[in-house]
Structure 1
Amino acid sequence: MMSLVFNLLRMLEFILAGIVAGLLGALAGLGGGVVLTPVLTLFLSVPIIYATGSALVSTISTSAGSASVYVRRRLANDRIGISLVTATTTGAIIGSLTANYVYTHHLTWIIYVIFGLVLLASIVPPTVQRSTCELPPPRNPDWSTKAFRLYGVCYDPALKIWYRYWGVRWWLGWLIMLFAGFISGLLGIGSGALKVLAMDWGMNLPMKVSTTTSNFMIGVTAATSGSLYWFFGYISPFIAACTAIGVLLGSRIGTRMLMYVTNRQVRWVFVAILAYLGFRMVLRGGLGREGVLPITSMERNIVAAIFASIIIISLYFVFTYKYKETQDITLSIYQAQPENPGRIELKFINITSNLLKYGGVFISIALLVIGLILIFAHGSGLGIPLNKIIDPSSRVDTSMITIMEVINGDLRLDGLSLMLTGLLILIAIPVIMVALNLIRFIMERDTLYTVLAAITLVNLFLAIFVLPILILHK
C-alpha cells in the first residue's frame, strides 16, 4: 500500500512539474523543456539523461497545445516558421548525435554547464533593451523581407489593435536557428529561448510574433531530436507521459494568459526565468562537481535566486531610468487595418489548428492517461513491473521496444503500450504538420516554400528512419 501511495505521489510530482513548465513555456515561447529539465534534475532528482529525453517529448506537447491556438488566431506566422525550421532540424540532428557521444563517454557534467551558459547568454542587451517599447524599433525592409515574405498582420487582444509587422536579416535568424537546433538536440530542449532571440533581435519581429512562431517551430525541432533520443533509449516513458500531460494542461493555460499580457511583461518574464535557471544549472553541473563549490542544493537555490534577482532588478532600473522619458511611438507606426487570409491559407490554418488540437492534444493525452491508469491497475506493462517503469535509473529502454510490440500491446490494452503510442503520436504530429504545409505551398504554387518544406521533411525522415539504421549497422 505504501509503495502504491509513493508511486502515485511521484506521478503527481511529474505532472505538476509539467504544468509549471508548460505554463511558463507558453508565456515566454520557451517550449517547456528549458524549464522542465532543470525542475526534473534539480528538484526531483531525475538523471539529466532521462530528464532531457522526457523534456523533448513534453516540448512537443507545449508546441501542440500552444500552436493550435496561435495558428488559428494568426499570431504565429507559419511561413516564417517553415523557412527557419530547415535550420533547426539540421542543427537538431547534429546536436542529438553529439549528446549521445557526451553521455556514452560519461561527460554529463558538460551538459549542465552548457545548459546554464546557454540560458544566461540568451539574456543579451538587445533583447532586454527592447523591453522599453511594445513593438520593435522599425527597420527598413531588406532583400530577405521580400524574398521570404517576412511580413504579416495580426490582432493583439492586450493592445486592442491590429498591426502590420515585417522581418529583416533572415540570414541572421537562420544562423541563430541552426545553433538553436544544435542546442535542442544536445540539451533535449525546444531551444525556444534562442528561437525567440533569433526572431525578436535577429529579425526584428514583435515579441509575441516571435514567441508564438517559436511555439509553432519547437514541435518540429523536438520531433527531430526526440526520434533519435527514442532510438538511443534516453526517454523514460513514465516520466515523459506524466510531464507531457502536465505540459499540455499548463500550455493551454499559458496561451490564454498570453492573449491578455503585454509584450513588455512577456519579455521580463522571459528574462527572469532564464536568469534563475541559468545560474542554477551552472552551480549544479560545473561548480558543484567534485566539490569545487561544496554547497547544498538549498544553498544553490538561494545563490541562484540572489544572482538572478540582482540581474533583473539592475536591468529593470537601468532601462526604466534610461528610457523613462521615451515615448513609445511604435504602436502608431505599425498599426494597420484588419486583413483576411486567402482561401487556401485559411483552409490549411483550420486543418493545422484542428490537427494540433485534436491529434496532438486530445488523442495523445487520452492515451497517456488511460495508459497510466492501466499500468497502476495491472502493476506492470509489457511484462515490466510498475516500480521499474517508474524508476528512471532502471531504464525502460525504448530502443529495444519495436513498433509491432507496441501495436500488439495496444490490442491487449497494455498500459505501457498505450503510453508509448501516445508519445509516438506526439512525435508524429509535427511531421504531419510540415507535410500539410508542403501540400499547401504546392497548391499555392509557391516554389520557394515548397522547397523549404521539403527540406524539413527530408531532415525528419533522416532522423526517424535513416540515421537509426546507419548507427545500428555501424
Structure 2
Amino acid sequence: MHTAFLMLLIGLFAGTMGAILGIGGGMIITPIITLGMGLPIKYAIGASIIAVIATSSGSTIAFLKDDVLNLRVAMFLELATSIGAIVGALLTGVFNPAILYFLFGCLLLFASWNMVRKLRSGKEVLHRATPDKLAEKLKLNNSYYDKNLHEQVDYEVENVPGGMTIMFGAGLASGLLGIGSGAFKVMALDNVMKMPLKPSSATSNLMMGVTAAASATIYFFNGSIRPDIAVPLSLGIIVGAALGSRIMQHMPSRWLRIIFVPVLAYLGLQMAFKAFGVTI
C-alpha cells in the first residue's frame, strides 16, 4: 500500500508537469524509480512508456475540448515521426548511437538558447509578411482561445518541411536510442514551425501518446511493465495530466518558456555528455 500510494503521488506530479510542458513524464519518473526507489532501469523504461501514454490520454481530452491542440498538424507530422521510428529500429546495432546522442544534444541546447532569445525579445507569436503556401494548402493554420490573455489568438504555421525533418529525427531518436522525443516535438512546433507555445505543447501531448502506444506492446511482453507500478502510476498521471492541462491554459506563455529553458538545457547536456559515456 505504501508503494502504491507513493506511485500515485509520483504519477500526479509527473502527469501535471508532463501536460504543462508537452514532454511526457518519463524524465521525471525514470530518475525517481531508479535512484530514489532503487528499481532496475528495465522497469523505469516500462513505467516511462506508461507515463507518456497516460499523460497523453489525460491531457488530450481537455485540450481537444478547449480546442487548443492542432489536430491536423499532429496527424500530418505523426507520419514523419512514425517513419523515423521504423527507420531507427531498423538501424539499431548498425549506426553509432554516440554520434546521434551528440547531434541531438546540441540541437536541444540550440532550442534552449532560442527560447532565451524569445524571452529577451518578448515576442511570443511571430507574424510573417508572406503566409506559408504549403501550410495553407494543407489547412494547418489555426486559432485558439488563450485563457490567460482572454482573447482568441490566430496563428499561421510555416516551414512545414523543416518541421517534418525534425519530427523524422525525433522518431529516429526514439527508435534507435530508445528515448522519449517530446522535447523534439515541442522544439519543431515552436522553434521551426512558429506555432505559439501553448498549442505546441498541447499538440505534442497528443503525438507522444500515438508514438508511445506503438512500442508499449513490446515492453509489455518482455516483462518491463509491472502492474504494481503501472496501475497506481497511471491513475495519478491521468489525474495530474487533466490538472496540468487546465493549469497550462491559464499560465502566461512567458512562464512556460522560463520552465522550458532549463528542461531543454538539461536534456541537451545529458544527451551530449552521454555521447562520451558520461552520465549526468
TM, length-normalised to structure 2: 0.85
2:18 counterpart residue number: 25
Q: Distance in 2 between matches of 1:251 and 1:57?
A: 13
Q: 8 Å contact 1:119–1:274 — kept in the other structure?
A: no
Deviations 1:91-128 (A, max 9, x none): 233445667x69xxxx9x97xx77x9479536442233
1:374 counterpart residue number: none
Letter of the 2:23 partner, please give it.
L
Deviations 1:219-263 (A, max 9, x none): 101111223333444333332223222211221221111121011
Letter of the 2:140 partner, please give it.
L
Q: How many residues align?
A: 273
1:49 counterpart residue number: 42
1:128 to 116, 127, 131: 116
Q: How far did residue 278 of structure 1 move?
A: 5.5
1:38 lines up with 2:31 in the alignment: yes
Q: Which runs of 4+ in 1 moved over 6 A?
A: none
Q: How far did residue 272 of structure 1 move?
A: 2.2
Identify the range of structure 1 (147-156 vs 200-209) with the bigger mean alpha-carbon deviation: 147-156
2:201 counterpart residue number: 211
1:60 counterpart residue number: 53
Q: Distance in 1 between matches of 2:37 and 2:74?
A: 34
Q: Distance in 1 between matches of 2:268 and 2:235?
A: 25
2:64 counterpart residue number: 71
Q: Distance in 1 between matches of 2:223 and 2:107?
A: 26
Q: Distance in 1 between matches of 2:176 and 2:46?
A: 10
What are the residue-to-residue correspondences of 1:252-267 with 2, within 5 Å? 252-267=242-257
Highest Rg: 1 or 2? 1
Q: 8 Å contact 2:112–2:265 — kept in the other structure?
A: no
1:286 counterpart residue number: 277
Deviations 1:127-147 (A, max 9, x none): 332224352222332232222
Q: 8 Å contact 1:92–1:185 — kept in the other structure?
A: yes
TM, length-normalised to structure 1: 0.52
What are the residue-to-residue correspondences of 1:59-208 with 2, within 5 Å? 59-96=52-89, 117=105, 121=109, 123-131=111-119, 132-133=121-122, 135-139=124-128, 140-186=130-176, 188=178, 190-208=180-198
Uncovered stretches (5+) of structure 2, i.e. residues with no partner = none
Alpha carbons of 1:190 and 1:60: their partners in 2 closer, same or farther (altered >3 Å)? farther
Q: 8 Å contact 1:88–1:180 — kept in the other structure?
A: yes
Q: 8 Å contact 2:111–2:191 — kept in the other structure?
A: no
Paired-residue identity, %:
37
